[in-house]
Structure 1
Amino acid sequence: MEFDLTPAQRQRRAELAEAVRERLGGAPPSTPDGHFTRERWRAAADLGLTGLCLPVEHGGGGLGAVDTALCLETFGQACPDTGLAFGVAAHLLACCVAIRDFGTPETAAELLPGLANGELIAANAITEDSAGSDVGGLAMKGVATAEGYRLTGEKSFSSNAPLADVFVVYAVTDPADGFLGTTGFVVPRGTEGLSVGPPMVKLGLHGCPAGRLTLADAEVGPHHVLGEPGQGGMIFQHSMGWERACLFAIYLGLMEAQLKRCVTHARRRQQFGKRIGEFQAVAHPIAEMRQRLESARLLLYRACWLMDQGRTDVTAVSLAKLAVSEAAVANSLTAMRVFAGSGYLAETGIEAQLRDSVPSTTFSGTSEIHRTIVARGMGL
């Protein structure tokens, strides 16, 4: 059992960290009225981040789940804008993976090169007002036509949507078939009948814009169907396996950078004639931050390793997602207490880490959903 990184992995991470700091480290986190720009997106793409696990023949990095997660962890640690890191990871894992594994050869050749090099931005569109965790309750309809399918309905929360060029959309094509009645589609932004709402106002992750998506009798051709009709539920779960295992590595990176800041602050800050790190009331919570981070990291690496071995384990993935997301929130709350009044100020970036961490317990399945998956995995 090997726990260490290979020399190649260490070198890739070191080079990527330096490049991210040089290209993206100088800008502060995005604000509620701002989000990532095409320029910043292309800067991330130039570093290979938008195509990490896409095929080499289409311009991607050809990486497996572990190496993809390691790169995203480095991105999350070195980039101060967690929203940008989240947007890139969502593009890659929720969208590009679905196109990579289930797109027709025509669609793959048409879209994957642009998705890999950052010329195209992708958005996943499955959530609806009445279908969040209950993806079996989709209201969007897909009706077969002589030319393909006609899509009608509305998606309520699509990350990257306001800037996206390509949408991975899920719609019910056969209501009588339940889970087997949903189909996945690739919908280009210029499709007639497709409209995208303005960016939503959110608590955190401001760097990644999210918006509503409306399709009104939008026609898509047969080559834009993902997999076979009725495979949408399976395709979504497949892409979510990659997202839940790999995307949360950006929070490992956030927590690593956060922990280092807390340790440095506790060493420098003095109260009552002593460094605050000498007080057990400060030192022990920081030690707990380290414990949560290291535990979550091992679970995430294990889930990704299992995927690379062809042994996708939904329980392992759910355990990792739970551990990382809840550790990110708990550690961010501790960091706020360590920094006290200065942590409350936007200029320090500590409060932004808390706001960016809170939604991690909701997207990609709520903590309650993942606890249910873990319980079912034990036969409960």
Structure 2
Amino acid sequence: MNFDFDAETEDMRDMVVRFARRELDPPRDFASLDDDGADFRRRWRLAGKQGLVGTTVPDEHGGSGLDAVAAAAAMEALGYGCSDTGFAFSVAAHLFAGVMPVVEFGTEAQKKEWLPALASGEAIAAHAVTEPEAGSDALRLRTRARRQGDTYVLNGTKCFTTNAPVADLFVVQAATAPEGGFFGLTTFLVRAGTPGLTVGRPYDKVGLRGSPTADVHLEDCVVPAESVLGTEGSGAGVFSASMKWERTCLFAAYLGAMRRVLESTVEHARQREQFGTPIGGFQAVSHRIVDMLGRYEAARLLLYRAAQALADGTADEIGPALAKVAVSEAAVQLGLDAVQLRGALGVLDGEAELLLRDALPARIFSGTNEIQKNNVARALGLGARRPRRRR
């Protein structure tokens, strides 16, 4: 059991941290809703040139061909080096929820058309699945896709779609057989600008403000049959596969952000003096920091264990679900502790309060933590009714 990265991965991590600190920190007004996305795209193209938006894309399609462990290491380094966790989140959502479905389920024609641009930073992907009435209940989508000759006609509304305001490709989940349950959904690749597809105004969010998010409206949006990703009826399988990547590798960005704030909190406790002594000498403070470190390390182990299983092809529902719950809960608590230990400074503009705001959505997206616990319980065989014995 080896907990160390190889030398090549360590070098990559160091490179990503240096690059992110130098190039990816946003301007002070990056959260402005009036921003036309120009600075976001500027940083995105730089990240593309560095290979960050195509880490898991195979070499032959312009990516780095990294496995899940190395990809998680890259995301952790990005979260550590870039103070804009929202930008890191957008990169991860693009890669694991938008690009990986094309890598794993796309035809050769679809891969050749999209992967080089998605891996280079020329194009941005958005996964449109959540709806106003179908969040946790993803199998009951109201968006419909009706076959019409050699085309499909899509109608419906998606919400909370990460990267929607800047996306060039939408990976859209729609019902082709509304009563078909798991086999009733189909995934479509829809190019931005397709008639009938419109994007709403960017959300004004509490956290992850550096990640552009909006509604997506589909009104008689006609796409060719060749835009189906996988096969008709395989949409739930495509979605489940992408969530294993997202619930594992995306959350590595939070590990990086947690480590960054933990280190600055330790330094604050060493420097800040009260009653003539550094506050780190008070047991109430030092024990809280030890708890912060323990939660971070435990969450990190769970995440990389899930990433190794994903890389080995042995991943089940349990590993990614536990990793997602552990990292998101640890991030929220670490944010709360970092604010508390800074006192009044913690509620001012700064990395402690920013981590807390960015961490709050982590318990909700990629399937709420309550849904993850349901998934684990189901995998353990809990809740299934036993057949009654006849007397």
Q: TM-score range by the shorter chain?
A: over 0.9
Matches within 5 A, 1:282-293: 282-293=285-296
Paired with 2:186 and 2:24, the residues of 1 have a C-alpha distance of 37
Paired with 2:29 and 2:66, the residues of 1 have a C-alpha distance of 28
Matched with 2:262 is: 259
- Is residue 375 from structure 1 mapped to residue 361 from structure 2 by the alignment? no
For residue 204 of structure 1, what is the amino acid of its counterpart? Answer: G
Aligned 8 A contact 1:170 1:182 in 2:
yes
Aligned CA distance change for structure 1 residues 29 and 21 (closer, same or farther; 3 Å): farther
Matches within 5 A, 1:221-370: 221-346=224-349, 348-370=350-372
Q: 1:336-374 CA deviation, whole Å, 9 max, x = no partner? A: 00111111111x232111100000000001010111112
Paired with 1:190 and 1:99, the residues of 2 have a C-alpha distance of 20
Aligned 8 A contact 1:16 1:74 in 2:
yes
- Is residue 190 from structure 1 mapped to residue 193 from structure 2 by the alignment? yes
SS at match of 1:139: coil
Matched with 1:47 is: 50
Matches within 5 A, 1:17-36: 17-25=17-25, 27-28=27-28, 30-31=30-31, 33=33
SS at match of 2:179: helix
Q: 1:42-93 CA deviation, whole Å, 9 max, x = no partner? A: 1221211100000111110100100000000000000010000000100000
Aligned 8 A contact 1:29 1:80 in 2:
no
Aligned 8 A contact 1:186 1:225 in 2:
yes
Paired with 2:298 and 2:239, the residues of 1 have a C-alpha distance of 28
Matched with 1:8 is: 8
Paired with 2:122 and 2:250, the residues of 1 have a C-alpha distance of 21
Aligned 8 A contact 1:30 1:83 in 2:
no
Paired with 1:26 and 1:174, the residues of 2 have a C-alpha distance of 44
Paired with 1:268 and 1:201, the residues of 2 have a C-alpha distance of 36
Matched with 1:148 is: 151
SS at match of 2:231: coil
TM-score, normalization by structure 1:
0.97
TM-score, normalization by structure 2:
0.95
For residue 116 of structure 1, what is the amino acid of its counterpart? Answer: A
For residue 286 of structure 1, what is the amino acid of its counterpart? Answer: I
Aligned 8 A contact 2:144 2:154 in 1:
yes
Aligned CA distance change for structure 1 residues 287 and 329 (closer, same or farther; 3 Å): same
Aligned 8 A contact 1:28 1:81 in 2:
no
Aligned 8 A contact 2:261 2:351 in 1:
no
Paired with 1:29 and 1:373, the residues of 2 have a C-alpha distance of 40
Paired with 2:31 and 2:204, the residues of 1 have a C-alpha distance of 10
Single out whichever of 123-132 and 173-182 deviates more from structure 2. Answer: 173-182
Tell me how far 1:297 sits from its aligned partner. 0.3
Paired with 1:23 and 1:106, the residues of 2 have a C-alpha distance of 34
For residue 361 of structure 2, what is the amino acid of its counterpart? Answer: P
Count of residues in correspondence between the two structures:
379
- Cα RMSD between the aligned structures? 1.2
Structure 1, unpaired ranges of 5+? none
SS at match of 1:44: helix
SS at match of 1:322: helix
Tell me how far 1:147 sits from its aligned partner. 2.1
The structure 1 segments of at least 4 consecutive aligned residues displaced by more than 4 Å after TM superposition are: 26-29
Matched with 2:386 is: none
Tell me how far 1:25 sits from its aligned partner. 3.7
Paired with 1:214 and 1:60, the residues of 2 have a C-alpha distance of 31
Structure 2, unpaired ranges of 5+? 383-391
Tell me how far 1:28 sits from its aligned partner. 4.7
Paired with 1:281 and 1:196, the residues of 2 have a C-alpha distance of 49
SS at match of 1:80: coil
- Is residue 96 from structure 1 mapped to residue 92 from structure 2 by the alignment? no
For residue 272 of structure 1, what is the amino acid of its counterpart? Answer: F
